[in-house]
Amino acid sequence: MKKVKTCIFPVAGLGSRFLPATKSIPKEMLVVVDKPLIQYAVEEAKAAGIERFIFVTSQGKSAIEDHFDSSPTLETILKKRGKDQELQALEGLRLEPGQAIYIRQHAPLGLGHAVLCAEALVNEEAFAVILADDLVLSREPCLKQMLNAYQKEQGNMVGVMDVPYDQTHRYGILKISKEEGQKVYADGVFEKPDIQKAPSRVAIIGRYVLKKEIFHHLHKQHPGAGGEIQLTDALQKMIPEKPLCGFRYSGQRFDCGTKEGWLEANIAFAASCPELRLNLKTVLGKYSF
Ligand code: G1P
């Protein structure tokens, strides 16, 4: 099995649920504790061995490019002031020329379309996709767990978790044919089904390892749920050719595309941070709910 070296980050979405906070900053730059969401996503990809980072952006997203670029003025000031730790943090953040590629999705035509925009830049047999607003707190980074498990797979793999039936309309939902430990195999997958039509409560989170053939199906894909070109629909079309495997990762996922999920992520990440843990307990103790 060849190594998965490329990861696509679809970051063109409007972030309208977080307006006005996201009026002039990308939703992927929303901070959880001390880092923007997109930095968590890139760090997760790096930890999984990813070497090429493709960001599918849109207008108003230049803060993401700046975040992973060098910042000579800031770095000079930090150096002069002897702020070595801060300087190191900035250096670790930088993506080298050629490692980071930014391309535009010219119209909000859906996740499937966003992934298709990167087609010409994917050279290998398989590539990863991370949706930055799905943040996963885990001992071993989620994508790394998936790429380890992917070694024995021939088809597409998606990160999955169980959701309550009344939430299936928010996710891609798998129709399960077989379960093997952390792996669940699907003979169908449906984008945002109503509770009555949901074939299970096994939901896709924003982690994918996809075979290059997915592009072929995305090209032919008509608009689906919400009038958008859905990645889920292309996954469904590919099932007769290649197995679709859902991977039950170990960890806790937060939907940082919603205020509730983002707030909980802040609490969970602060609680997992030794310097903040005690203070967080004291602060939360001040409020009665
Ligand atoms: C997208 C996918 C959906 C998946 C979800 C995970 O939906 O289309 O299949 O379950 O991400 O967060 P979105 O949340 O972008 O509407």
pTM for the model stands at: 0.96
Give the pLDDT of residue 2.
67
Mutational test site, ligand 1, from 162, 168, 171, max ligand atoms within 8 Å of CB? 171
Domain residue extents for the chain: 6-285
**Distance, CA of 223 to CA of 214 (rounded, Å):** 16
Write the residue with the smallest CA distance to atom 9 of ligand 1.
Answer: 172
Cβ contact 204:158 at 8 Å: yes
Minimum-distance ligand 1 atom for the alpha carbon of 134:
12
The stretch 188-213 carries a mean pLDDT of 96
Give the pLDDT of residue 12.
95
Minimum-distance ligand 1 atom for the alpha carbon of 111:
8
CA 134 – ligand 1 centroid, Å: 9
287 vs 230 pLDDT, higher one: 230
Q: Would you say residue 289 has pLDDT above 90?
A: no
Confidence tier at 1 by pLDDT (50, 70, 90):
low
CATH architecture of 6-285: Alpha-Beta Complex (3.90)
Q: How far apart are the first and last CA of the chain?
A: 52
**Distance, CA of 180 to CA of 222 (rounded, Å):** 33
CA 33 – ligand 1 centroid, Å: 24
What percent of the chain has pLDDT above 70? 99
Q: Which residues neighbour 254 within 8 Å (Cβ) at sequence distance 6 or greater?
A: 134, 135, 136, 137, 261, 262, 264, 265, 268
Give the pLDDT of residue 117.
97
Give the pLDDT of residue 96.
86
- Which residues lie with the beta carbon below 6 Å from any ligand 1 atom? 111, 131, 134, 171-172, 191, 203-206, 230-232
Confidence tier at 91 by pLDDT (50, 70, 90):
confident
